[in-house]
Structure 1
Amino acid sequence: MHVESLIDPLSATIVVGGTLVATFLRCGLADCRTAIGALFALRKPRFNAERARGELATHVQAIRRDGLVRAQSHHFGDPEFDEACDAMAQSHSLTALRDAHRSHRTKRQERARHAVDTFAQAAELAPVFGLAGTLISLSQLPSGGAASGDFTGAIGMAVLTTLYGLLLGNIVFAPLARVVERAAQAEERERQGVVDWLEAQIAPAVPKLHETAPVPSAKQVRA
């Protein structure tokens, strides 16, 4: 098999160009930007739970030494934990930690969902444009006494566009959707582990609220 026979710029333009344009029109500019951002984020170092624990250990030690009320916030460049430390310093409770984690987790999951949906849409559209390219090439079949080479070229383009559509959808876009999804899930597991660890470390230093007095029953009131 000759590799050169599998290369056809026109077929690739129809399938790749059509898929990208249709995905953009279906998903919109914001989702496409999110998908591209998620793609580039895969090249960056993943969230390191051990490093986060090491950085937060300084904050934990300060809280144990000075108390949650007087301890200074420790920032190390992670927006979620930097915000959580500031919020805990202001509210003096673990609720701020949980709220900050919940807010950032929701935003991350939303971005990941839009990115995954965009790649999934592209994976769905690629075979469609492979079929469209096939129909275009078949419509160009010569009639009458045309040379056999014309038939061969048209049939070859029909086959290649179908092949490009299947490969683009199932070997490029569908795997990218799963890669982004798995990366997002792995990061959430790591972050949740750090949050659980941090909460367990800080809990003993959180000021205990006074218990509210029990409301007397109607029988006690009458007595």
Structure 2
Amino acid sequence: MDFASLLGIISGLALIISAIIIGGNADVFVNIPGLMIVAGGTIAATLLTVQFKDVLNAFKAAWIVFTRDKTNPQEMIDTMLELSRISHRHGLLKLGDIETNSHVLRRATNLLAEAASEQVIRNTLQNEIDSLIARHFTVQDVFKKMAMYAPAFGMLGTLIGLIQMLSVLSEPESIGPAMAIALLTTFYGSLLATVVFLPIAGKLRARTLVEVTNLEIIREGCISILTNDHYAHVYEQLSSYLPEDSRKPLRMGKSSEGADTANTKKASK
């Protein structure tokens, strides 16, 4: 569970709702037709812009981001270092027996066990990185478009409300309530864009950067293992992906084979 995301959404909505309740009657902020215009219009426009499967994938990805912890790049570095130890102790063929939840790491270890060339490994893993970036861009784009459409439909709802208000100018007592209802759709659109859609897009982009870093660590680690680099050289190369104050010190002590294999299971999906 990504508690930072959950805390952000809950605290943001709680503060807004509290401000509404403290300011007066909260019932005036509920308008079903306005919600229909903003929510329905945003969804309709998004479906017209992108494919239906992309919209479903976007919401699935958002759910995964908020419910599944990300793999820290340091954990991936530790995994690659353990693979380097196994390779030096038992040979590349032993890497084919490694169990991991990451299909990319599984593919990489199979290539190493098959003694694939450096160019094949580099190209294969680079294709995985490029494919991940393309998929994640599509997902992020869905929420960015929804963040763009929501305020636009909020303004459209306001215009509809103003037109309806101007049609009853002969009744002055109804102008105030009608104006409040007209402005509500703009409020709904801005709320959805700034509290929901844009933060989700930003969170997805941040998760993409982490996953790309993990895949790059796998790529460079596998190439170092293939070229039989020293354990310390592998560490120095991979640790450059982390800020200096986040790097764990290198430990040259030996660990058991069982521990080595277990650590590879920490790899991200």
TM-score by length of 2: 0.67
How many correspondences in the alignment? Answer: 203
Aligned partner of 1:63: which letter? Answer: S
Q: Alpha carbons of 1:143 and 1:186: their partners in 2 closer, same or farther (altered >3 Å)?
A: same
Aligned partner of 1:60: which letter? Answer: S
- Does residue 1:133 correspond to 2:157, yes or no? yes
* Correspondence 1:150-161 to 2 at 5 A: 151-161=175-185
- Does residue 1:146 correspond to 2:171, yes or no? yes
Q: Decide whether the 8 Å contact of 2:140 with 2:204 is kept in 1.
A: yes
1:17 equivalent among 32, 40, 56: 40
Q: Decide whether the 8 Å contact of 1:12 with 1:161 is kept in 2.
A: yes
- Does residue 1:110 correspond to 2:134, yes or no? yes
| 1:46 match: secondary structure | coil
1:99 equivalent among 123, 139, 145: 123
Within 2, Cα distance between the matches of 1:197 and 1:56?
A: 6
Q: Alpha carbons of 1:144 and 1:133: their partners in 2 closer, same or farther (altered >3 Å)?
A: closer
Which residue in the other structure is 1:212 paired with? none
Within 2, Cα distance between the matches of 1:28 and 1:198?
A: 37
Point out the structure with max Rg over C-alpha.
Answer: 1
Q: Decide whether the 8 Å contact of 1:15 with 1:165 is kept in 2.
A: yes
**How many percent identity over aligned positions?**
23
- Does residue 1:172 correspond to 2:196, yes or no? yes
Which residue in the other structure is 2:59 paired with? 36
Which residue in the other structure is 2:236 paired with? none
Q: Decide whether the 8 Å contact of 1:55 with 1:76 is kept in 2.
A: no
Q: Decide whether the 8 Å contact of 2:129 with 2:216 is kept in 1.
A: no
Which residue in the other structure is 1:204 paired with? 228
1:75 equivalent among 82, 99, 120: 99
Which residue in the other structure is 1:208 paired with? none
**Range with bigger deviation, 135-144 or 121-130:** 135-144
Which residue in the other structure is 2:143 paired with? 119
Which residue in the other structure is 1:84 paired with? 108
Residue 19 of structure 1: how far off its partner (Å): 0.7
Within 1, Cα distance between the matches of 2:153 and 2:160?
A: 10
Q: Decide whether the 8 Å contact of 1:119 with 1:173 is kept in 2.
A: yes
Q: Which runs of 5+ in 1 are unaligned?
A: 206-223
TM-score by length of 1: 0.80
Within 1, Cα distance between the matches of 2:74 and 2:80?
A: 10
Q: Which runs of 5+ in 2 are unaligned?
A: 1-22, 230-269
Within 2, Cα distance between the matches of 1:117 and 1:160?
A: 26
Residue 58 of structure 1: how far off its partner (Å): 5.1
Within 1, Cα distance between the matches of 2:89 and 2:168?
A: 89
- CA-based RMSD of the aligned residues comes to 2.3
Q: Decide whether the 8 Å contact of 2:162 with 2:182 is kept in 1.
A: yes
Which residue in the other structure is 1:209 paired with? none
Which residue in the other structure is 1:63 paired with? 87
